[in-house]
Amino acid sequence: MRPRRSVLYMPGANERALEKAKTLPADALILDLEDAVAPDAKEAARERVCASVSQYGSREVTIRVNGLDTEWHDADLRAAAQAGPAAVVVPKVNSAGEVHNIERALELGGAPEHTKIWAMLETPVAMLHAEEIAAASDRLTVLVMGTNDLAKELHAEFVPGRAPLLGGLSLALLAARATGKVILDGVYNDVKDVEGFEAECVQGRQFGFDGKTLIHPAQLEPCNRIFAPSAAEIASARKITAAFEEARAAGKGVVTVDGRMIENLHVENARRILDLAEAIGTAE
C-alpha cells in the first residue's frame, strides 16, 4: 500500500517551491503546469518540471498537464511521457473516451509502464460520468477532486461543511470504491485558516478519502496526522485481528471485541488500517 495522505501542488514555474519540496514531508507531489502557471511561462515550466521529476527521493512525483482543450495539452503529455513521473494528472476529465485518448497518447509518447493516469473530476459532467471515467482504464489509478472548479461550475459558495459540494463528492467516492481506485479530496484555499483546514481534513477522512490535495507546506503536518490511523485505531485493529484469528482457530466466524460484534468485514477493515500504518511507518 502506498500512502497518499498529503499530495502537494507546486506551481511548475516557481523555482523556490520546486526546490523547497525536496525537504517537505509530502507523500506525493503534483508539479503543476495548469492553473498555477501563467500562459507565457508554460513552456519554461514544462521544461523545468520534466527535468526535476527524479529529484524528490521517495516522494511520489506526478505532473499535472494542461487540459485536453488547451493549446499546451499535447506537448505537455509528450514531454511528461518522456519524463516518466509516477503519474500524469489530467484536469477536467469528462468521459471514458478522454481517458482512452490520454492512455493512447502516453503509449505513443513512450511513457514507461509505471507512469499512471490520475484523472481530475471537477465538472458537473464528470460527477455524472464518474464511474465510466474511473473504470475506463487500468492505467488510471487515482481520482482527484477539483473542488474549486466544481464550485465555480455549480455557482456554489464555499461554506464550512461544504454542503453544496457533498453530492459531487459522494458520487466520486462511490465511483472510486466501486472500481477499486484511490481518491483524493480537493484543496483548501485559505492557507492561514488552520482550524477550517483541519475540520475539512477530518470531514474528508470521515467520508472515506485516502488523502487530500494541498497548496501550502503548512498544510502538510495536520493532513498527514489526520489521514493516518491513530494509535488507538492501530491498537483496536490489532485486537480485532488477533481475536478473530483466535475465533477462527476455534471454528467460529463471529466474535465480540469490547462488547462489539466482529465479522470478516471488520477484520478486512482492521487489516487495511494496519497495512496503512505499516506503509506510513507508524505501526510500532
Q: Is 40 annotated as a binding residue?
A: no
Give yes or no for residue 146 binding Mg ion (CB under 5 A). yes
Of all residues in this chain, which one has the CB nearest to ligand LIB3CWND in the complex?
148
Q: Which of 137, 138, 140 is nearest to 119 (CA)?
A: 140
Choose the one of ligand LIB3CWND, Mg ion, none that binds residue 21, judging by a C-beta under 5 to 8 angstroms depending on kind.
ligand LIB3CWND
User: Residue 28 or 151: which CB sits closer to Mg ion?
Assistant: 151
Beta carbon of residue 76, minimum distance to ligand LIB3CWND (angstroms, whole number): 15
Choose the one of ligand LIB3CWND, Mg ion, none that binds residue 10, judging by a C-beta under 5 to 8 angstroms depending on kind.
ligand LIB3CWND
Contact 101, 140 (CB under 8 A): no
Q: Which helix (H) or strand (E) holds 224?
A: helix 220-226
Residues 6+ apart with CB under 8 A from 205: 226, 227
Question: Which amino acid appears at position 23 of this protein?
Answer: T
User: Residue 165 or 277: which CB sits closer to ligand LIB3CWND?
Assistant: 165
- Residues forming the site for ligand LIB3CWND (CB under 6 A): 8-11, 16-17, 20-21, 32, 35-36, 122, 146-149, 186-187, 191, 215-217
- Give 3-state DSSP helix, strand, coil % of the chain, rounded to 5: 50, 15, 30
User: Residue 109 or 196: which CB sits closer to ligand LIB3CWND?
Assistant: 196
Strands 6-11 and 211-214: parallel
Choose the one of ligand LIB3CWND, Mg ion, none that binds residue 90, judging by a C-beta under 5 to 8 angstroms depending on kind.
none
User: Residue 8 or 267: which CB sits closer to ligand LIB3CWND?
Assistant: 8
E strands, 12-79, in order? 28-32, 60-64
Taking the C-alpha atoms of residue 110 and residue 274, their distance in angstroms, rounded to an integer, is 37
3-state class of 136 per DSSP? coil
Choose the one of Mg ion, ligand LIB3CWND, none that binds residue 8, judging by a C-beta under 5 to 8 angstroms depending on kind.
ligand LIB3CWND
Binding window for Mg ion (CB under 5 A); candidates: 124-132, 147-155, 169-177, 274-282 = 147-155
Contact 86, 28 (CB under 8 A): yes
Contact 173, 142 (CB under 8 A): no
Taking the C-alpha atoms of residue 18 and residue 174, their distance in angstroms, rounded to an integer, is 34
User: Residue 112 or 160: which CB sits closer to ligand LIB3CWND?
Assistant: 160
Cell numbers for 38, please give them.
501563467
Beta carbon of residue 15, minimum distance to ligand LIB3CWND (angstroms, whole number): 9
CA torsion sign for 171, 174, 177, 178 is: negative
Q: Is 149 annotated as a binding residue?
A: yes
User: Residue 146 or 229: which CB sits closer to ligand LIB3CWND?
Assistant: 146
Which residue ranges are tagged as binding site for substrate?
A: 64, 122
Contact residues: Mg ion, CB under 5 A: 122, 146, 149
